Amino acid sequence: MATANKNLSEYTGKNLVNISDKKFAVIVSEWNEKVTEALFEGAKSTLLKEGATAENIIRKNVPGSFELTLGAQWMAQREEIDAVICLGCVIQGETRHFEFICQTVALGITEVGLKFNKPVIFGVLTPDNEQQALDRAGGKHGNKGDEAAITAIKMLGF
Ligand code: DLZ
């Protein structure tokens, strides 16, 4: 989660690997759609800005964050995919599923990355309320979607 008043989107873009021929899968959860659409826009615009081509950004939707893991697995198993970015938002105050969903998804995404030996990025917001989410989806704390895209690129340059 962002540190107070720190904009997560302030990256220089320096020393990043060339991604002009890299293929990205971006999995987007439909729960809290206003937030996750903003995360997607951030991730997509960052990938394009850093040199990815539009046809190499493959978007897939899943119903909720819980389904991000299986969506990630389906995309990561494709040989042509270089990195997978998972975007979701689970708001603590609005669901008793909070811990269950967040822990399951974090573990699942980690396992998919290890299983397929490629970057699978956890771009899931876990705020207390919608305002905190919006602050991190293009608001005063930047956009976690940008951060997820930069993380994927950095891992490709490992
Ligand atoms: C069921 C549920 C609830 C209550 N809250 C959220 C949420 O805040 N964010 C989110 O991404 N998904 C939520 N879901 C849906 C679950 O992720 C999942 O889609 C369903 O439990 C069906 O497996």
Strand (E) or helix (H) holding 139: strand 137-139
- Cα end-to-end span (Å), the chain: 23
Q: Is 97 a catalytic residue?
A: yes
pLDDT tens-digit readout, 70-116: 999 999 999 999 999 999 999 987 667 788 899 999 999 999 999 99
With a threshold of 0.85, does the pTM exceed it?
yes
At the second CATH level, the architecture of 37-156 is 3-Layer(aba) Sandwich (3.40)
Mutational test site, ligand 1, from 62, 94, 95, max ligand atoms within 8 Å of CB: 95
Alpha helices per DSSP H over the chain: 33-49, 68-76, 98-116, 130-135, 144-156
The residue whose C-alpha atom lies closest to atom 15 belonging to ligand 1 is 64
Q: Of 78, 97, 115, 140, which is the active-site residue?
A: 97
CB 67, CB 124: distance < 8 Å: no
